[in-house]
Amino acid sequence: MTPPPLPPDELIDRVTPGVAEATAETNRADFRTSGRQSVQDLEHALAAIDRRLDSYGRILEFGCGCGRIMVWLEPLAARCSLHGTDIDEAAIQWCRKNLPFAEFGVNPHEPPMQYGDAMFDLVYNHSVLTHLDERHQDVWMAELRRITKPGGTVLLTVHGEQVFEDNEIAMAGAGEDPRRWREQLESDGILFVEQDSYTGSAHPDFYHTTFHAPWYVFEHWGRFFSIRAYLPRAALSFQDIVVLERPDDDPPRPRPVAARPAKEAFGGPGPAADGETNLMARVEAELTREIAPRYASRFGRPGELARRVLLRLMRPYILIERDLDRELAGAIADTRRQLRMPPLVKDVLDRHSERMKRLEGDLRVELVRLADRLDRVERRGSNDG
């Protein structure tokens, strides 16, 4: 197979991370090898939900840049309809000219995009939400939900613990104190750093560096999509991949009570005692209260209750995971700073860190499994009912 075409260096530079010792030549080589690796990463992530790229009819790459990944997808074009979109006009022009097997479009900095509702079976990206603040992310999450078919899949990458830890080590190495960032990431679950190398670059002003804590992804992104898998370091061995599913239908809206009986009907004849009035007011408020979207369930209020209980049960695990992450990262950063580590100590630390990460991964898988079980129970319940 002839190697796919290579974009000009200035386009490659916009999508490859700035590595101090990089040259134009190493960047070009990296563009090729990392693109092919990203396709494998996508296949691995989809395997977690028993799917493959070629099992989807219409596929969109959101933020495709100058086609680092798309250049490798030509073999899919016979079976799938391939689309790419980005805000970068020059990159899209290059894609249009050089990758005729796919369709490309330029999208605005904020939604809506040029696509119709429920148009895609699969939407994926590599490293787009890793550059947006929370407001931009939220509007794009809603937009990705709009253009994805019910039951369709969305794969997004985030800068998770690994990238943040690398950053902490680099900061400590440069004599800076990363604790302020760590604290903010832990308390907010998301950290947007504007003081970065993108200031004054070819990218727009809103484009900087964002980190996510896994618990935030579960809690916040769970409002837009069902979370099917969270795969630490699954994208080019440094970013995390989040596998999302567009729910079948919109969350059930609470149905208004058609004709609510007058209050006296509950209290019987005569004025109700104060306690009873309060109780009735609470029952009524409960019945008309909006179900928070994050707890919305096909099974109505009982489902909502089950989701609340599940989240409550998960919270200690999430907090333990957060504490473990913090302790571990702190211990490793301290040790690395204080010691010029003999290889043996480094080995032990690395092994310990690997083990903790495996445990952390297992914990997440377990949480996703619990949520899946809840979904299945609900589905069974609504089919029976």
Ligand X SMILES: C[S@@+](CC[C@H](N)C(=O)[O-])C[C@H]1O[C@@H](n2cnc3c(N)ncnc32)[C@H](O)[C@@H]1O
Nearest-CA neighbor of 35 among 12, 1, 58? 12
Select 132 or 296, whichever has its Cβ closest to ligand X: 132
Which H or E run contains 148?
strand 148-158
Interstrand relation of 81-86 and 239-245 (parallel, antiparallel or unpaired): unpaired
239 binds ligand X (CB under 6 A): no
* Nearer Cβ to ligand X (13/284): 13
Closer CB to ligand X, 240 or 378, in the complex: 240
Q: Is 375 in the site for ligand X (CB under 6 A)?
A: no
Angle at 210 between CA 227 and CA 107, to 5 degrees: 80
- Residue 88 binds to ligand X (criterion: CB under 6 A): yes
Cα dihedral 75→78→80→85 (10° resolution): 70
143 touching ligand X, by CB under 6 A: no
The answer to whether 128 contacts ligand X (rule: CB under 6 A) is yes
- Residue 84, interface with ligand X (CB under 6 A)? no
Q: How far is the CB of 59 from ligand X (least distance, A)?
A: 14
Q: Give 155 or 314: the residue with its C-beta nearer to ligand X.
A: 155
x-marked contacts with ligand X along 184-223 as a string, rule CB under 6 A: -----------------------x----------------
Cα 104 versus chain centre, distance: 23
Query: How far is it, in rounded angstroms, from Cα 68 to Cα 172?
Result: 32
Binding-site size, ligand X (CB under 6 A): 20
Strand runs labelled E in 171-290: 190-193, 209-212, 226-235, 239-245
The pairing of beta strand 209-212 with beta strand 148-158: unpaired
Span of 42-50, 80-88, 223-231, 309-317 interacting with ligand X by CB under 6 A? 80-88
Q: Which CB, 68 or 307, lies closer to ligand X? A: 68
Q: How far is CA 189 from the centre of its chain?
A: 12
Give CA–CA dist 307/83, Å, rounded. Answer: 36
Q: Cβ of residue 313: shortest distance to ligand X, in angstroms? A: 36
Interacting residues with ligand X between 45 and 74 (CB under 6 A):
62-65, 68-69
Q: Write out the residues near ligand X by the rule CB under 6 A.
A: 15, 62-65, 68-69, 86-88, 91, 107, 109, 125-128, 131, 140, 207
